Amino acid sequence: MKKFIAGVAGATIAVLALSACSAGGTAATSAAAGASSAAGGSIKVSLIAKGTSDYWTLVKNGAEAAGKDLGVEVTYNATDTENEGDKQLNLLTAAINDKPQGVAIAPQDGAQDGAPTVLDQAKAANIPVAVFDTPLKSWDGAIATIASDNEGIGAQAAENLSKLIGGKGKVAMVIQGVTGTAALRRDGFANWMKANAPDIQVVDIQNGEADPAKSRDKAQAILQANPDLAGFAGTSDYSTIAIADEVAAKGGTVKVVGVDASPDVLTLLSEGKIDGIVTQNPYQIGYKTVSTLVDQVKGKAPAEKTIVSEAAWVTKDNMNNPEIKQITG
Amino acid sequence: MAATSTFTAILIADAGLRLPIWVGILGGLLAGALIGLINGSLVAYVRMQPMIATLAMMMVCAGTALVIANGKTISLRSIQGWESIAMGQVIPGVPNGVTILILLAIIAGVVMNKTAIGRYSLAIGSNKEATRISGVNTRRWEVLAYVICGVFTGISGILMSSRLAAAQPTLGQGYEMYAIAAAVIGGTSLRGGRASIFGAVIGAVTIQTIFNGLTVMGVQDQWQKVVLGVVVLIAVFVDIMRRGGKEE
């Protein structure tokens, strides 16, 4: 809500500044104010996200950068956690009522079933809808879905972990949920192991509920139960940090891989406590969501219904490369 | 109660200012005491329902934590010495978190059994009116009980953020139920008048052992919650039986 108000306030100020310019203001002020909203006519797009972690900050940064580059106004709102489907639907309804030229949603599990009805209203009002980060099942009215291939990410983590432990031994996972992206990554990981690594045994997969403390408890118990564990994988930043800290506390030789690069994950990577991470490109997801919507508004429909944002394998060795730096922020 | 998150977040704010660690700790404890003071005043002087007042305050705190942390997790990894508050080992082989727990439990046990605040708290919980008529300023003692509770919540926030080397503004959601479960398993009466510090510690250890044991056994999270709920129900049932089926 605060962001929403700030967004509205910002827009108001920009509009005021512009009208002042047209009334004979100086060129200097018009350039400053025009950067955010003037150049694109009055295109306004609204993004509804579902979290406040570092990952979502990167999505937001990408979306705002696209807004700046394309000269459109971007409103970004998000629920605090991924367990507030009803709240997310309220945000979505409010965004649509604000009559933007485009709207995009990263549907959380709790909003999956309720979103179609609300999005139908957007469609009826001729507002193009894009879906980002997480695919929206049960509604096919979106102009495009901009997301990572989460099963592919799980498989990528599995493949690299298998290489790190020489293709044999026991591995385990701590995941951040049992639905949505967490489930896809888990399945991608487990299926890859089953198909390609006959000598690797996935001994346990536990849910840390995207809660750092609970994730650590799970990681600790798994290490207690399996003293001969060879590899350990997390499916989100919190679960990966929890695993790395527990493995380091135990002082073992367990190889640790994970998903998503938050600043703490990168610190642990540089300290050698994490061996590698598959990282999505949240910045690119945010950027592409806005640019896809803007293209649509300007009459250019996206070529594909699914726009995959490529994931990258980041290790201590390549983490400082410029192209990786841009992804990890 | 569940204001843990606020403390954590306040500490971070302090860390953001790069103030020394002890300032952060003091800030967390003071914030806890302040929230306890507000809770206590609302209950004792404004006569609000304790459950409603604290639930409302919980929402205020959870929201405030998000506001001051700007909605983000704040890393404390770079703060020298912060992790060692809970994870260091002053006594070799025993993490400080455990040492602190034992020390606090002993202090709390003494306070509960040997001091006026402890005895009055139990008396107020048992029968507020009778305690008041006996000439005890029940309101003042009630407020003090809430302040102590707040300080302890502050301590838990500090320990949690130390263990995680980060402060997450959404941390601790749902933990109030674990706290209640621990107290109930330990034989504390929710209707007041009966409480045991030792019992509560045993209750907390029991809960954590259940979670840990089930994870070691490879039982999934969903079922772990079912088991915990059933254990709490059994604990309450056994308690009723022990007192001969009488309702308080």
**CA dist., res. A185 & res. B90, Å (int):** 41
pLDDT of residue B194: 81
pLDDT of residue B18: 62
- Specify the amino acid at residue A139: W
Kindly state the percentage of chain A with pLDDT values over 70: 87
Q: How many domains does chain A have?
A: 2
Q: Which domain holds residue A271?
A: 150-279
pLDDT at position B19 over 60: yes
- Specify the amino acid at residue B228: L
pTM: 0.73
Residues A180 and A269 in one domain: yes
pLDDT of residue A269: 94
pLDDT of residue A244: 95
Indicate the residue of A207, A220, A222 with minimum beta-carbon distance to B220: A207
Q: Which residue has the tokens 């179609």?
A: A116
Instruction: Compare all CA atoms of chain A with the CA of B222 and give the residue at the minimum distance.
Output: A207
Q: How far is CA B205 from CA A292, B10, B164, B175, in A?
A: 53, 28, 19, 14
The answer to whether the Cβ–Cβ distance between A225 and B208 falls below 8 Å is no
Compute the average pLDDT of residues A49-58: 84
- A233, B184 contact by CB (below 8 A): no
Indicate the residue of A52, A54, A221 with minimum beta-carbon distance to B215: A221
B170 neighbourhood in chain A, CB within 8 Å: 52, 80-81
CATH code of A78's domain: 3.40.50.2300
Compute the average pLDDT of residues B130-149: 89
Residues A192 and A94 in one domain: no
**CA dist., res. A90 & res. A168, Å (int):** 49
| Inter-chain CB pairs, A–B, below 8 Å | 74
Residues A274 and A303 in one domain: no
Q: How far is CA A294 from CA A118, A123, A125, B60, in A?
A: 21, 16, 17, 38
Indicate the residue of B73, B164, B208 with minimum beta-carbon distance to A54: B73
The tokens of B84 are what? 């060692």
Please provide the average confidence, as pLDDT, over all residues in chain B: 82
The answer to whether the Cβ–Cβ distance between A80 and B66 falls below 8 Å is yes
The answer to whether the Cβ–Cβ distance between B216 and A262 falls below 8 Å is no
Indicate the residue of A78, A80, A178 with minimum beta-carbon distance to B170: A80
B75 neighbourhood in chain A, CB within 8 Å: 263-264, 267
B80 neighbourhood in chain A, CB within 8 Å: none
Residues A217 and A300 in one domain: no
- Specify the amino acid at residue B174: G
Radius of gyration of chain B (CA): 19
Compute the average pLDDT of residues B40-50: 91
Nearest CA-CA partner of B9 in B159, B153, B171, B164: B171
Nearest CA-CA partner of B202 in B225, B182, B175, B224: B182
Interface of chain A toward chain B, CB-CB under 8 angstroms: 2, 52-54, 57, 78, 80-81, 178, 203-204, 206-207, 209, 211-213, 216-218, 220-222, 224-225, 241, 245, 249, 262-264, 267
The answer to whether the Cβ–Cβ distance between A225 and B72 falls below 8 Å is no
Each domain of chain B, given as residue ranges in start order, spans: 2-172, 174-248
The string of pLDDT tens digits covering residues A193-232 is 999 999 999 999 999 988 888 899 999 999 999 999 999 9
pLDDT of residue B37: 93
The answer to whether the Cβ–Cβ distance between B215 and A264 falls below 8 Å is no
Q: Which residue has the tokens 């919540």?
A: B153
The answer to whether the Cβ–Cβ distance between A267 and B77 falls below 8 Å is yes
B165 neighbourhood in chain A, CB within 8 Å: 245, 264
Q: Which 3 state secondary structure label does DSSP give A47? A: strand
Note whether residue A237 is domain-resident: yes
Handedness of CA B14, B18, B21, B26 (dihedral sign): negative
Measure A320 CA to nearest chain B CA, in Å.
19
Handedness of CA A261, A266, A269, A270 (dihedral sign): positive
A168-172, B14-18, B79-83: least confident range: B14-18
Residue A15: which pLDDT band, with cuts at 50, 70 and 90? very low
The answer to whether the Cβ–Cβ distance between A211 and B216 falls below 8 Å is no
**CA dist., res. B146 & res. A220, Å (int):** 34
Please provide the average confidence, as pLDDT, over all residues in chain A: 85
**CA dist., res. A29 & res. A17, Å (int):** 8
Note whether residue A203 is domain-resident: yes
The secondary structure of residue B73, as a DSSP letter, is -
Residue B223: partners with Cβ closer than 8 Å, 6 or more residues away: B214
Strands A306-308 and A144-147: parallel
